[in-house]
DNA sequence: CTGAAAGCGCTAACAG
DNA sequence: CTGTTAGCGCTTTCAG
């Protein structure tokens, strides 16, 4: 019947996990021998090894990585911290996946966390990761300066910035070719006869948004399009605000004939506004968005975009990361991943009279 | 005998991070006092505390959470392991985000990893997480039985299954109402006059796919629709295979008038096939998909779906998880999150003669 | 209020 | 081939 467990379940006298000591006792060997077996070190007889393995299996022993790393020379936790805008957004998902795949080859686990463009949150997450002694960080940022990471960098912690280049610290970065991509989109619209082009952009305090706006304006200037004929709307951080802004623009007496939207959600907001206004407007207003999104090719018209390669950004960041971890001491480098314009229809609408 | 002197530049003799010992020395106090200050324990004079804080700051001291947990009674790593199909997929992203938000309130970091429906990968990830002594696991599965987790569960490790219910182990689970959702979708099509309905489903070894198929068939039977008039295609795991299957189906002499697609990618594959075939077919073939996806409302026709609530699944799973961690010993429970049919157009196409 | 000693689970450096 | 002794960075226990 009962009899067995008179132990108070609330206060486990026995530790949650067996230790090497337990395995050693059961196998009738010393603890160091167990250690050798668990780490596939040489100098253990095949027979002893099997006794140890057997004992470990019977106890369901699980080595404690943290304990081992405490003493292990230059011990790595085999853990990396990843900070992205939000793990729920597709760009971050693709990037995360690429990082994970590279990490897996090195038996490295990845902590992922969302910034929500909140500087305080960034600091908190970084702190939490450091206290867990991650081997390094791959990060998007929300702070205006990342100089607070300098001490960490000096300790030899690899730091690779993604999506946005770092400010106040020299470190590796992998980013999209934002200004050029925006310029390409703008040129594309100009080539299709547009001069009254509107720019709808994200929050001005976001580096990539600034870069894209810069690319847009520069291209206008270098193509000789008068800036007076363009409208610039910024600080559109959500679908709804973008939609409203597009509505406003397109209801003007002399509306723009083309729109360049500098971000995913903004593009979608614009598409909604266009659909709201009906095919008259949709078919006469050109649209090129920055950043591709799922199903952009299935819409009507299909959406022309300047696509970023999140997967590649993640893969290159991971590559840089592990190179640093392996001792690469070369100067910090910024890797620029080029964007590519994908013409699908919405961007090829010609300017009307 | 070891001691200092011979400094090898490549191999840092000095440790990467300062320890409490260093802080204690600089502040001129004992190590335990530093410990007290860092953990906000009482019985430290305000003055001593500030000396310690100052020293810690000057050394840029970062407590080592792992070292602390080693001895701390019932030490938590404040880390949770999350296993999803792929961190790149939107369903997983939303779920992940909900888990992260709940975890953040408990100062808990989350490891995320992708299964790719690979049982071996699942085992490997679980092993890696356990060796890092996560406080528990929130997981989707790829294995046919999760009985291998029983020892872990007996140790008191919280286990919460999401998306799929566990097999071979009794544990908490939070899942969508798959069979019911599928039945709802099916009924919706029948109510719009369809009897020749095709089911396009995911791999048969995936539990949720089986459930959805079951719901589909049961509803057909209970509505008195002859099964002979339906077609069932399974093992469609990718967009392309779904598209091809839909092409095949719709080219039959007597094609189905409605399609129920049991998964995201399958739905999209079907939409592509429909678009390939032109508006004649698109406007006469009804489609209801299981699982919502971004922009489903912007397509033409907008796609009617049975939507899952990934955010809620994640939130409830996290709630269950932390309840267990806090000592909840109530019987394992399976929480069923209901799906909701969102009629947008594609599912309301009436059956033609 | 403060600190010395012991030890968490493991690996490093040496013995045997 | 195997085991012993330290001690990683911290918390616990217990003595001042």
The per-residue pLDDT for range A153-192, each reduced to its tens digit, is 999 999 999 999 999 999 999 999 999 999 999 999 999 9
> Is A243 in CB contact (< 8 Å) with chain B?
no
Cβ atoms B177, B306 nearer than 8 A:
no
- Model pLDDT, residue A279: 83
> Is the Cβ atom of A342 within 7 Å of strand C at any atom?
no
Interface membership of A128 toward B (CB under 8 Å): yes
Q: Is A157 left (phi over 0), alpha (psi -120 to 50) or beta?
A: beta
Gap from B191 CA to D10 C1', Å: 67
Helix then strand then coil, % of chain B, to nearest 5: 45, 15, 40
Above 70 in pLDDT, residue A11? no
Is the confidence at residue A148, as pLDDT, over 60?
yes
Give the Cα separation of A73 and A233 in Å (integer): 55
- Asked if strand C comes closer than 7 Å to A32 Cβ, the answer is yes
- Answer for A64: CB within 7 Å of strand C: yes
Confidence band (pLDDT; 50, 70, 90) for A13?
low
A74 has pLDDT over 80: no
Q: Which residues of B119-131 are buried (b: 16+ CB within 10 A; e: fewer)?
A: eebbeebbebbbb
Q: Is residue A2 over pLDDT 70?
A: no
- Asked whether residue A6 carries a pLDDT value surpassing 60, the answer given is no
Q: For residues A188 and A194, what is the distance between their CA atoms, to the nearest angstrom?
A: 9
Interface test with A, best of B282, B298, B300, B344 (most A CBs within 10 A): B298
The pLDDT of residue B13 is 57
For the beta carbon of residue A353, count every other beta carbon within 10 angstroms.
3
Please identify among residues 189-208 of chain B the ones whose CB lies closer than 8 Å to any CB of chain A. none
Provide block-wise average pLDDT over 10 residues at a time, chain B (353 residues).
34 76 93 93 89 94 93 85 96 97 97 97 98 97 97 96 98 98 98 96 94 97 93 95 96 94 96 91 93 94 97 98 95 97 96 76
Q: Which residues are registered as beta bridge partners of B287?
A: B259
Nearest nucleotide by C1' from B31 CA? Answer: C3
A63 touches strand C (CB under 7 A): yes
Sign of the alpha-carbon dihedral angle for B299, B305, B310, B315: positive
In a 13 Å sphere around the CA of A168, the CA atoms on its Cβ side amount to 10
Q: Which of B94, B111, B157 sits opposite A88 (nearest CB)?
A: B94
B294/A293 Cβ within 8 A: yes
> How many angstroms separate the CA atoms of A108 and A111, rounded?
10
What integer pLDDT is reported at residue A17 of this predicted model? 93
pTM attached to this predicted model: 0.93
Q: List CB contacts (< 8 A) between A69 and chain B.
A: 66
């Amino acid at each position: 019947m009962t009899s067995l467990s008179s132990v108070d379940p609330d206060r486990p006298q026995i530790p949650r996990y067996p230790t090497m000591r337990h395995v050693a006792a059961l196998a009738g060997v010393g603890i160091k021998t167990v250690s050798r077996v668990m780490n596939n070190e040489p100098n253990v007889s095949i027979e002893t090894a099997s006794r140890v393995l057997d004992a470990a299996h019977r106890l369901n022993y699980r080595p404690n990585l943290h304990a081992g790393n405490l003493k292990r020379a230059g011990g790595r936790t085999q853990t990396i911290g990843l900070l992205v805008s939000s793990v729920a957004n597709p760009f971050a998902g693709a990037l995360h996946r690429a990082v994970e795949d590279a990490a897996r080859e090195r038996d490295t686990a990845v902590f992922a966390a969302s910034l929500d463009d909140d500087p305080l949150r960034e600091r908190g997450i970084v702190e939490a990761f450091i206290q867990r002694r991650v081997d390094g960080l791959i990060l998007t940022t929300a702070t205006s300066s990342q100089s607070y990471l300098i001490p960490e960098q000096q300790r030899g912690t690899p730091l690779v910035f993604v999506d946005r280049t770092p400010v106040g610290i020299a470190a590796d970065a992998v980013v999209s070719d934002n200004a050029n991509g925006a310029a390409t989109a703008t040129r594309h619209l100009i080539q299709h006869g547009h001069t009254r082009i509107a720019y709808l952009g994200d929050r001005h305090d976001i580096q990539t948004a600034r870069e894209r706006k810069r690319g847009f304006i520069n291209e206008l200037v270098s193509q000789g399009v008068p800036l007076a004929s363009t409208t610039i709307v910024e600080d559109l951080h959500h679908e709804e605000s973008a939609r409203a802004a597009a509505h406003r623009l397109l209801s003007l007496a002399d509306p723009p004939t083309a729109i360049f939207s500098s971000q995913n959600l903004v593009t979608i907001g614009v598409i909604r506004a266009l659909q709201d206004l009906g095919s008259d407007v949709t078919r006469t207003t050109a649209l090129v968005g920055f950043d591709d999104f799922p199903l952009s090719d299935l819409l009507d018209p299909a959406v022309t975009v300047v696509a970023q390669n999140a997967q590649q950004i993640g893969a290159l960041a991971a590559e840089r990361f592990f190179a640093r971890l392996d001792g690469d001491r070369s100067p910090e480098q910024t890797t620029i991943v080029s964007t590519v314009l994908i013409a699908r229809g919405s961007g090829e609408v010609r300017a009307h009279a």
